Amino acid sequence: MSRAVTLRDVARVADVSAKTVSRVVNGDAHVTPSTRERVQRAIDDLGFEPNLVARSLRVGRADAIGLVVESLADPFFARLTSAVEQAALERGLAVMISSVGDLPDREAVVVRSLLVRQVAGLIVVPVAETHAHLEDPRQRTPVVFVDRRPDGMDGDAVVVDDLAAAETATRHLLAHGHRRVGFLGSQTRNPTTRLRLEGYRRALAAHGVAEDPALVALGAGTAQTAREAAEQLFAGPQPPTAVFASNMRCSLGLVPFLHSSGRTDVAVVGFDDFPMADSLLPAVTVIDHEPEAVGRAAAERLFRRLAEPDVPAETVVVPVRLVQRGSGELPPPAGTTGPRGADGGEDDPGRTTDAPVQQDGTREWEMAQEGGGRS
């Protein structure tokens, strides 16, 4: 259990000052090659590794970023996390990760726990109802919001156009003749859910369909509770003939329920693609957005801000697309349909791009200046 090797140890062996060793370690150009070589040899001989905690204290910032997500068990956030971690590693930054779970109040706690560790920046999936706990720290630590933006806060964000995407999904079902379209979501205090619910409502309104409160099931925070919410949705006297599952966990609860109860005739569109979606019968139609793309965009945005603290805030809108696989194109059972035929003419065949611009596969994203495009 010998003490770790420090700069001073190296300095003694190389017969220079600690400062010079520091210069070599940090690749400072102002070191004579011969000195550099001597120091380097001492470093190698002793197996010196710089203590990043000490460095962090000295420079006032840890070389780590914090990531706060809703749930790591959700494959969407897991893949997002993976992309962030990847991008951070390329820049030599560590990633401290925290998940909030379904206790929104914990967001403030985990954010604080990251801030006291002096993270250089934060990427946050906002979950809490208010974000006052972020206002103050943002003066010192840049924050990039991802997946959604908290109410009334400006700043950098990487989002999808939830409202438009949800409206598209719902219109898709309506266009296939459904009039009793269910909505499955988590909490309305979750801004994402609220926006998606609003999109759902707009689609209904556009089609002149009155909203039936019995068709809106909320409280689906996990696959388990989503399943229960779905059960209730179908327990009523007039169950839906189609359902919009407004996030991956909802799909993961809804779809197994429909399968296990033999209701695979119900049309489904899910928000977020999920594993196996295209191997089910029918395969599940989804609104897809790549979590890796979202994660990477958020990380890049944060890095840019760390490099240039004073550039104006940007909102990156990640495109989504409707992937038609079958479940979303099921017709309603005879007798429940409205005036339109089952083959609604609203959608393009095949894969339809509903987002403002199509991703081109590189890292070019549509960028919108602050405030653009949100309602």
Residue 81 is a binding residue for its own copies (CB under 8 A): yes
Out of its own copies, DNA, none, what residue 139 binds, judged by CB under 5 to 8 A for its kind, is its own copies
CB of 26 to its own copies, least distance (A): 14
CB of 57 to its own copies, least distance (A): 5
Instruction: Tell me the window of 66-74, 145-153, 201-209, 340-348 that interacts with its own copies (CB under 8 A).
Output: 66-74
Question: What separation, in Å, do the N-terminal and C-terminal C-alpha atoms of the chain show?
Answer: 60
| Residue labelled with tokens 């603290």 | 309
Site for DNA in 51-90 (CB under 7 A): 51, 54-55, 57-60
Phi-psi region of 81 (alpha: psi -120 to 50; beta: other; left: phi over 0): alpha
Q: How many CA atoms lie within 13 A of 160 on its CB side?
A: 32
Sign of the torsion angle spanned by Cα atoms 82, 83, 85, 86:
positive
Q: Which residue of 18, 94, 209, 214 would you call a contact of its own copies, by CB under 8 A?
A: 94
Q: How far apart are CA 158 and CA 315, in angstroms?
A: 6
Taking the C-alpha atoms of residue 21 and residue 23, their distance in angstroms, rounded to an integer, is 5
Binding of DNA by 137 (CB under 7 A): no
**Cβ-based nearer residue to DNA, 35 or 264:** 35
256 is a contact residue toward its own copies (CB under 8 A): yes
Q: Would you count residue 1 as binding its own copies (CB under 8 A)?
A: yes
26 versus 51: smaller Cβ distance to its own copies: 51
Residue 24 in tokens: 């070599």
Q: Minimum distance between the CB of residue 204 and its own copies, rounded to whole angstroms? A: 28
**H-run or E-run covering 195:** helix 191-206
133 binds its own copies (CB under 8 A): no
132 binds its own copies (CB under 8 A): no
Give the span between the Cα atoms of 99 and 177, in whole angstroms. Answer: 40
In sign, the C-alpha dihedral spanning 267, 272, 278, 281 is negative
Query: Any contact of residue 6 with its own copies (CB under 8 A)?
Result: no
Which two three-digit tokens encode residue 99? Answer: 């998940």
Could you tell me the two tokens for 67?
């990531």
- Rule CB under 8 A: which of 258-287 touch its own copies? 259-260, 274-281
In eight-state DSSP terms, residue 326 is: B
List the interface residues with DNA, window 22-51 (CB under 7 A).
Answer: 22-23, 25-26, 29-32, 34-36, 48, 50-51
- Calculate the CA 122 to chain-centre distance: 13
Does 252 participate in binding its own copies (rule CB under 8 A)? Answer: yes
- Give the distance, in angstroms, between the CA of residue 74 and the centroid of all CA atoms in the same chain: 10
Question: Among all chains, which residue has been given the structure tokens 């990380």?
Answer: 299
- Interacting residue ranges for its own copies, rule: CB under 8 A: 1-2, 4, 47, 49-54, 56-57, 62, 64, 71-73, 75, 78-79, 81-82, 85-86, 89, 92, 94-99, 101, 110, 112-118, 136, 139-140, 223, 252, 255-256, 259-260, 274-281
Residues that bind DNA (CB under 7 A): 3-4, 6-8, 15-20, 22-23, 25-26, 29-32, 34-36, 48, 50-51, 54-55, 57-60
